[in-house]
Structure 1
């Protein structure tokens, strides 16, 4: 069961990574690889019947905040670049 889950999860991760590269470019692949760790922390109590540790939950929240900050920073950077080019013309 665990080997099957690992193969399926790896396959889904590779499919989502390829889709992400096609849609948004290489930049977003690195931040979103942290989502795998969040999924492990949240799903392991349900699938593997492991106890949910407070450290895992706190780590998942910190990773989620980090992903949000990276995406927000990239959005702000794109907005700054687009307005800066218009002012230079």
Structure 2
């Protein structure tokens, strides 16, 4: 299994950062049929071929994901898109 591990800084208040993560998760859920749920300050998400989490820290986000066999071939573009969205939102 291939993985993604990204730490992205942010300077938003915790509530604003949580709302932004929730917005991104909602869009991903609609676009890719992902399920997601908060567990404390960590948003866990999954769908067939992907299992991951976004940990909301006071000054950064930590995104981790395990990619299944088929999606591991697209790891580069997936990681690039995650970084782009994080840069736009945070």
TM-score, normalized by length of structure 1? Answer: 0.37
Higher RCO (C-alpha 8 Å, min separation 6): 2
Higher helix share: 1
- The higher radius of gyration belongs to 1
Higher strand share: 2
